[in-house]
Amino acid sequence: MIALLLFGSMALFLALGVPIAFSLGLSTLIGFNYIGVPLTGLSQRIFTATDSFSIMAIPFFVLAGNIMTKGGISKRLVSFTNSIIGNIRGGMSIVSVISCAFFAALSGSGPATVIAIGAMLYPEMVKLDYPKARSAGLIAVAGGLGPIIPPSIIMVVYATITDASIAKLFTAGAFWGIIITTALSIVCIYLAKRENWPKNNKKVEFVEFKKNFISAFPAMLLPFIILGGIYSGKFTPTESAGIAVVYAMIVSLYVYKEISYKDLYNIIIESAKGSSMVLFIIATSTAFAWLFTYSGISGNLVKLIMGLSLSKNLLLLLISFILLVFGIFLEGIATVVLLIPVLFPIVKQLGVDPVHFGMIVTVANVIGCMTPPVAVNIFSAASISKLSIEEIAKGEIPFFITLIAIFFIIVLIPYFTLMLI
Reported confidence tier of residue 214, pLDDT bands at 50, 70, 90: confident
**Residue from 110, 108, 46, 77 nearest 240 by CA:** 108
pLDDT value for 86: 59
pLDDT value for 200: 67
pLDDT digits (tens, 9 = 90+) for 275-334: 787 778 778 877 877 777 777 766 676 677 767 777 888 888 988 988 888 887 776 777
CA angle 162, 165, 168 (to 5 degrees): 130
pLDDT value for 189: 92
CB atoms within 10 A of CB 359: 25
pLDDT value for 371: 84
CA angle 20, 22, 24 (to 5 degrees): 70
Q: Where are the domains of the chain?
A: 2-418
Q: Give yes or no for residue 74 having a pLDDT over 80.
A: no
Per cent of the chain over pLDDT 90 is 19
Mean local confidence (pLDDT), 267-276:
84
Query: How far is 392 from 384, CA to CA, in rounded Å?
Result: 11
Pick left, alpha or beta for residue 294 (phi over 0 → left; psi -120 to 50 → alpha; otherwise beta): alpha
Reported confidence tier of residue 225, pLDDT bands at 50, 70, 90: confident
Pick left, alpha or beta for residue 295 (phi over 0 → left; psi -120 to 50 → alpha; otherwise beta): alpha
Residue 151: asked if its preceding bond is cis (omega within 30°), the reply is: yes
Mean local confidence (pLDDT), 236-259:
85
Name which residue leads in pLDDT, 11 or 249: 249
Most confident of 162-171, 174-183, 367-376: 174-183
Q: Which class for 134: exposed (0-12), middle (13-18), buried (19 or more C-beta within 10 A)?
A: buried
The residue type found at 240 is S
**Residue from 372, 356, 360 nearest 335 by CA:** 360
Alpha-carbon dihedral angle through residues 61, 62, 66, 67, given to the nearest 10 degrees: -40
pLDDT value for 6: 77
pLDDT value for 153: 82
Cβ atoms of 67 and 264 closer than 8 Å: yes
Query: How far is 389 from 394, CA to CA, in rounded Å?
Result: 9
Cβ atoms of 374 and 331 closer than 8 Å: yes
Query: How far is 12 from 375, CA to CA, in rounded Å?
Result: 20
Mean local confidence (pLDDT), 334-359:
86
pLDDT value for 140: 92
pLDDT value for 139: 93
Name which residue leads in pLDDT, 8 or 319: 319
Query: How far is 327 from 105, CA to CA, in rounded Å?
Result: 22
Query: How far is 171 from 165, CA to CA, in rounded Å?
Result: 10
Most confident of 172-186, 204-218, 300-314: 172-186
Q: Give yes or no for residue 384 having a pLDDT over 90.
A: no
Most confident of 190-194, 309-313, 371-375: 190-194
pLDDT digits (tens, 9 = 90+) for 23-45: 888 888 888 888 777 777 777 77
pLDDT digits (tens, 9 = 90+) for 123-164: 888 888 899 999 999 999 998 898 898 878 889 889 888 889
Q: Read out DSSP for 326-341? A: HHHHS-HHHHHHHHHH
